[in-house]
A and B are shown apart, each in its own frame.
Chain A
Amino acid sequence: MSVPQQQFDGFRLDFPATLDDARNAVRSVIEWLADQQILPDECQQWELVLAEAANNAVNYATPEQSRLTVRIEAALSAHDIEVRITDHTSGFDWPDHVELPDDDECDHGRGLFIISSLTDHVSYLRGKGHNVLCLRSQRKSTPKPQEDTEATLELMTAEVASCYETLANIFRLIADAGNDVEPVALASRWLEELRELAGADFLVLRMAGTEAGRLPIVGGVPSAIVWDPLLELRNHDAVETLAAVTRQDQWFDESTTFATADPLRKAGEHISGLSHPLESGGDLAGVLTVGVFKPRWEPSARELNVVRSLGDFLGALLHGLHRRDEANQSRLMKRELQIAADIQRSLLPAELPQTPFVHCAAHLATVGEVGGDYLDAILLPDGSLLFVVADVMGKGVPAALFATAFHSLLHSHLDLASQPSRLMRRLNKAMFAELDRADMFITAQLVHISADGLALQVCGAGHAPLLLSGGSQIQEVCADGPPLGVTADADYQDFSVSLASFTHVLLHTDGLSDVVSGGGILSRDELHTWLQGAAAAASDAGSSRDSLHRLHRSAVDAASQQDDATFMIITRGAQTLTANTQNSLSHAKG
């Protein structure tokens, strides 16, 4: 007997035209049907039908025809079983109506009746040299989904291959990221890679940034699509938002109704795909959307695996890079502030000048690393002194830079020190353009005291008034003009004061007591009372500075505010310099 030919998508067997071979052939067909999960009852019926048909193919063959084999073929569809028997007999005309013999006891003539009765459809095709009997019946039960071993194996192989492919891509991605590539460039390159690997038409990647509730775009392909730069997580109708909020994949296709504000509308009308949330350490890292310009996307398991695995990894990597950049930025900022603070400290006089007639002490306080307050005291060649207190609007590096510029300009124009208003005008002219461009300004107070300590000239630029006291009275000198940087050709006036009846002079920034706006810590009256007391007690400059600092400190503590006051005490007279006054600049950092 021939071996079944399994390359046919069904069952096929050629067998010699003998009754024994016919019987064996029928058994083989039935075994095959049983293997195909055909019910035992159906198999039993088909066994009888095929036995009758095969017997006929053998019984009606002439000896010469018997030398040729008979072919039996069986095939299954979802609903039918079909069997064909090809013989080489002379054939016969299949009757229109197949009936049982009239004589019940007749011992033959029932074969065709059995075949017709037990099948739904019979056709007999007579040909030259061969005939084909085609038998078909509906399957009695819906076939269970067959596990196609080859297909399963193929699927598993594809899955393993896909895992290796993903892994290889992850290694490439790690190597790429290790080259210190800028994150946006890295994302763009890998979105293109992903598009090819996943067989997609478009991709858009949004990553969580510093701003909560918003996902800025990191990259999108193709570049022809102009994606919305920001995804608002409040907009719950958008597919990407839904993926981000639910942390679950969101599929979309032709049946999806996109909200009017859905950013995915930018990709076109007939699109389909997947929005996949990216997580890192339990946090939402971003959303990756992959799609095609077709009404329906049916990615293979491999493509889906690549999208999810590589997407997740890319998301985690970019999230990590973002965190690293933030930390670097923070470190850089801290370092810059440190440098600015160093610059600012370098601007302070190493020691304050003291003369037999004029002594001074000062306190500078800064908030954070760098503040905008500035002070200086310069002994001029003729023995006179120039005292400067200034406040650059704002804090941090820009304020420190302007303080530096102010310091440089001041020291390069000391020839005008005896005329503070001219010096102020020069400073304003020199700095106006830069201050105006940066939308900043500087308040300042220049005080010139003659070498004998008896004449004082003061010029202010939007600064707190100068306070003078001799112990029994207080005098405020406003001598005010606009702050530097407000008007290019601002006019400033000198105000002259004879110091004969004053012993104590106080210059300060508005952090100590804003007598103009009332925003300082100490009230105007408190400050006046203190200065009058210090003058009455004939406190030297250092002791007065310490006393005022203590007063201010306690007020700061009581108000839980920051100590950002800068002030300078000038005393006149023949007081002996105390150790406290020598090099009398104190500096506090808030």
Chain B
Amino acid sequence: MTLTASAQLTAPAELCAATARLWRDRLDIEIKPGHEEVCIDLSKTRFIDSSGLGVLLTLNKNLRARGASLKLINPSSAVCQLIELTRLHRVFEMIHD
């Protein structure tokens, strides 16, 4: 059995332009190079805009570049609707418990 190094983070209630910088800074701190998997809990995120999506896309791109993966856990319906509108469901791996 292989153990995967995973980072578990909870996204803020609002993941938007106003909070994107702070959130990006936090990701830089929390996610280590050894993490092969990053799980972002989006269950408490009621609002996300294109800037918030941009943060997740950058993270996803960076993780994939080093062979790691990003999982979006329990995104709220508002988040799901935006992801689908922007067709990013083809990019993100979303997991619903």
Identify which of residues 37-76 in chain B touch chain A, using a CB-to-CB cut-off of 8 Å. Answer: 47, 49-51, 53-55, 57-58, 60-61
Q: Which of B2-10, B26-34, B87-95 contacts A (4 or more CB under 8 A)?
A: B87-95
- A110 touching B18 by the CB < 8 A rule? no
Say yes or no: is A430 at the interface (Cβ < 8 Å to chain B): no
- A114 touching B50 by the CB < 8 A rule? yes
Where chain A touches its partner, the secondary structure class is helix
A114 to B85, CA, bound (A): 8
Say yes or no: is A306 at the interface (Cβ < 8 Å to chain B): no
Q: With A22-B17, A23-B18, A59-B17 given, is the CB distance from A107 to B91 under 8 Å?
A: no
- B47 touching A111 by the CB < 8 A rule? no
Residue ID in chain B nearest A55 by CB atoms = B17
Say yes or no: is A559 at the interface (Cβ < 8 Å to chain B): no
How many chain A residues touch B (CB < 8 A): the figure is 24
Say yes or no: is A117 at the interface (Cβ < 8 Å to chain B): yes
Size category of the B interface is: 20 to 34
In the complex, chain A residues whose CB is within 8 Å of the CB of B54: 107-108, 110
Residue ID in chain A nearest B20 by CB atoms = A19
A110 to B17, CA, bound (A): 13
A104 to B18, CA, bound (A): 23
- B49 touching A107 by the CB < 8 A rule? no
Say yes or no: is B80 at the interface (Cβ < 8 Å to chain A): no
Q: With A108-B54, A110-B53 given, is the CB distance from A23 to B86 under 8 Å?
A: no
In the complex, chain B residues whose CB is within 8 Å of the CB of A55: 16-17, 49-51
- B58 touching A107 by the CB < 8 A rule? yes
Which of A20, A107, A111 contacts B61 (CB under 8 A)?
A107
CB distance from B96 to the nearest CB of A (A): 20
- A22 touching B86 by the CB < 8 A rule? no
- B57 touching A51 by the CB < 8 A rule? no
Say yes or no: is A47 at the interface (Cβ < 8 Å to chain B): yes
- B57 touching A19 by the CB < 8 A rule? no
- B18 touching A22 by the CB < 8 A rule? yes
In the complex, chain B residues whose CB is within 8 Å of the CB of A105: 57, 60-61, 91
Q: Mark A41-70, 1 if CB is under 8 A from B, else 0.
A: 000100110011001001100000000000
CB distance from B45 to the nearest CB of A (A): 13
Say yes or no: is B11 at the interface (Cβ < 8 Å to chain A): no
A100 to B18, CA, bound (A): 22
Q: With A23-B16, A104-B91 given, is the CB distance from A47 to B50 under 8 Å?
A: no
Say yes or no: is A106 at the interface (Cβ < 8 Å to chain B): yes
Which of B47, B49, B78 has most chain A Cβ within 10 Å?
Answer: B49
In the complex, chain B residues whose CB is within 8 Å of the CB of A58: 17
A59 to B50, CA, bound (A): 13
- B50 touching A52 by the CB < 8 A rule? yes
- A117 touching B49 by the CB < 8 A rule? no
- A111 touching B18 by the CB < 8 A rule? no
Say yes or no: is A313 at the interface (Cβ < 8 Å to chain B): no
- B18 touching A20 by the CB < 8 A rule? yes
A388 to B86, CA, bound (A): 129
- B87 touching A47 by the CB < 8 A rule? no
A20 to B53, CA, bound (A): 18
- B58 touching A117 by the CB < 8 A rule? no
Which of A48, A104, A106 contacts B49 (CB under 8 A)?
A48
Residue ID in chain B nearest A18 by CB atoms = B18
CB distance from B46 to the nearest CB of A (A): 9
In the complex, chain A residues whose CB is within 8 Å of the CB of B60: 105
A104 to B82, CA, bound (A): 14
Which of B51, B53, B61 has most chain A Cβ within 10 Å?
Answer: B51
- A110 touching B91 by the CB < 8 A rule? no
- B82 touching A48 by the CB < 8 A rule? yes
Q: With A20-B18, A22-B17, A48-B49 given, is the CB distance from A100 to B61 under 8 Å?
A: no
Residue ID in chain B nearest A104 by CB atoms = B91
Which of A59, A104, A111, A118 contacts B87 (CB under 8 A)?
A104
Which of B17, B54, B86 has most chain A Cβ within 10 Å?
Answer: B17
- A110 touching B78 by the CB < 8 A rule? no
Which of B47, B51, B85 contacts A117 (CB under 8 A)?
B85
Residue ID in chain A nearest B51 by CB atoms = A55
Q: Which 7 A-B pairs have the closest CB atoms?
A: A107-B54, A107-B57, A23-B18, A110-B50, A19-B18, A55-B17, A51-B49
Could you show 9 A-B contacts with beta carbons less than 8 Å apart? A19-B18, A22-B18, A23-B14, A55-B51, A105-B61, A107-B54, A110-B53, A110-B86, A114-B49
For the A-B complex with A48-B49, A106-B57 known, give 8 more contacts whose Cβ atoms are closer than 8 Å: A23-B17, A51-B17, A51-B47, A55-B16, A55-B50, A104-B90, A107-B53, A108-B54
A interface residues with partner B (beta carbon < 8 Å): 19-20, 22-23, 44, 47-48, 51-52, 55, 58-59, 100, 104-108, 110-111, 113-114, 117-118
